[in-house]
Amino acid sequence: MTTSTSFRPVIAIHGGAGTITRASITPAQQQAYREALRDVLHGAQQKLAAGAPAEEVAVEAVRLLEECPLFNAGRGAVFTADATHEMDACVMRGRDLACGSLAGVSTVRNPVRAALALMAAGGPVFMIGEAAEQFAAKEGCEMVARDWFSTEQRLAQLRTVQAAALASGREQVALDHTAQSQTPAAPLDERKKMGTVGAVVLDVHGHLAAATSTGGLTNKKPGRVGDSPVVGAGTYAKNAVVAVSCTGVGEAFIRGSAAHTVAARVELLGESVAQATAEVIHRVLPPLGGDGGLIAVGADGEVSLCFNSEGMYRGQIGMDGEALVAIYANDALAPA
């Protein structure tokens, strides 16, 4: 239980960070992203208002993001260099530091639900590949054919990145998508968009939780794992302190222990959530090549949506049911 005498239950979500290119999209296309964020927030808020525990609320928010092909997780997962899908996810519960992580799964419809099942099983904390898929199936998670995740847009992105690699004579990967000219419907510069989704929650009981899910990098080497499923790097939650979910250049967030560093600054230095997130995003990570952002909620309900890129899909909702969303760096949170 949080030590705060008063707190505001809240959900915050992200759908990836990256550079904004306004000129190549229509207002209607921007609105599609805003409405998708709004719908996710409203869906998860029903569980929050009903008194569900924080980890279940966070998982529901991420599950809904996984179901939306606009975002690089679950249904919208990008392709590896072998034209396959390898997805990662993590859930962490703040009241007892319980967590479940999995990486490299290809047939689990909602990896975040499998991560929750792993946490509920009480161990192991982290599973990968085929063994993780067998566990998910045994626990009753919905399994799908590998090609269920294959979309024409994502395949076109893979081909564009591979063509660029062939032309340059060197290996290339892309954060979520390819060049904006290849995918004009997306509001982020698709060469720089960090394709991860996540949620952080403070529930009505004062408990914190975080969940993160990703499809990784377009044209990534099979077997590559980023920060999303790594506890303390891409995901972390501890009651009376903070819950954090990250999106960015995974290797840098791992090296900087980004999520746990935010928590340590709040707990040990007494910084506010806003101070701690700003320090990590703007000072700790940039020297490591850590472009991206994170979302965090503190024990009193203080929310920070912090990033060093030019934008981040983001939103939050409280008990009043008003969903507030934003995409661009200079956007104030507003109803979709």
What is the set of active-site residues?
196
Distance CA 5, CA 201 (A): 18
Distance CA 250, CA 229 (A): 10
The candidate with the shortest Cα–Cα distance to 94, out of 248, 222, 206, is: 206
